[in-house]
Amino acid sequence: MRGLLSSCMAASVIFGVSPATSASCLADLMSQDANALVASMEGASSPHLWHGSGCYSDQGDPNACDWATEIKADERIGADRRLVILNSSHRTGSGAWDYVRVYGCSAGQLELLFEEKFLYGVSKEEVSPEEIVLVAGYWRSGDPNCCPSARARHTLRWDSQKGRYLKQGFALLPLEKK
């Protein structure tokens, strides 16, 4: 941890951010519960959470709950990034989305470093500071919306120059037999 903080402080000086600001961002990133982390990033796309779950309406009605949202996964990626997966299930219709988000500090500010949504869910195959591998359904031409005929492995690699995870690989996999 000491080495990481030293590296953060050195990077902060290069980018004109005070070491205290950078250390404060890192402390916030690692100490906040996932609800507060998601809520603090207003620029991120829906869904929004309050107290571990959220409910929102397709028409914006505050009394309706068309979509129920909850935190599916929350884990640290090394000492300076955090992966949060949210699940939104359509309660008044069919469908569900998983939102994969990676948060981190950039120039002393909490930032969304990666975000993508996956229809009918996603699973983590590998998570490390250098690489995230996700598996989700893949719909071929002619597949009904309910039933993908394959799975896809999505590989994300950390780009230290850009300070982001970038899509680096995609591979089709057969469906698992049940």
Mean pLDDT value of segment 88-95: 90
pTM for the whole structure:
0.80
Contact 97, 88 (CB under 8 A): yes
List the domain boundaries for the chain: 2-173
Mean pLDDT value of segment 109-128: 95
Q: Which long-range contacts (CB under 8 A, 24 or more apart) does 56-64 make?
A: 58/92, 64/92
Per-residue model confidence as pLDDT tens digits over 129-156: 999 999 999 999 999 999 999 999 999 9
> What does the angle CA 113 – CA 116 – CA 119 come to, to the nearest 5 degrees?
160
From the list 104, 99, 97, 69, the residue with the least C-alpha distance to 84 is 99
**pLDDT: is 178 or 7 the higher one?**
178
Per-residue model confidence as pLDDT tens digits over 14-72: 334 445 557 888 998 998 888 778 777 654 444 556 555 778 788 878 788 888 888 99
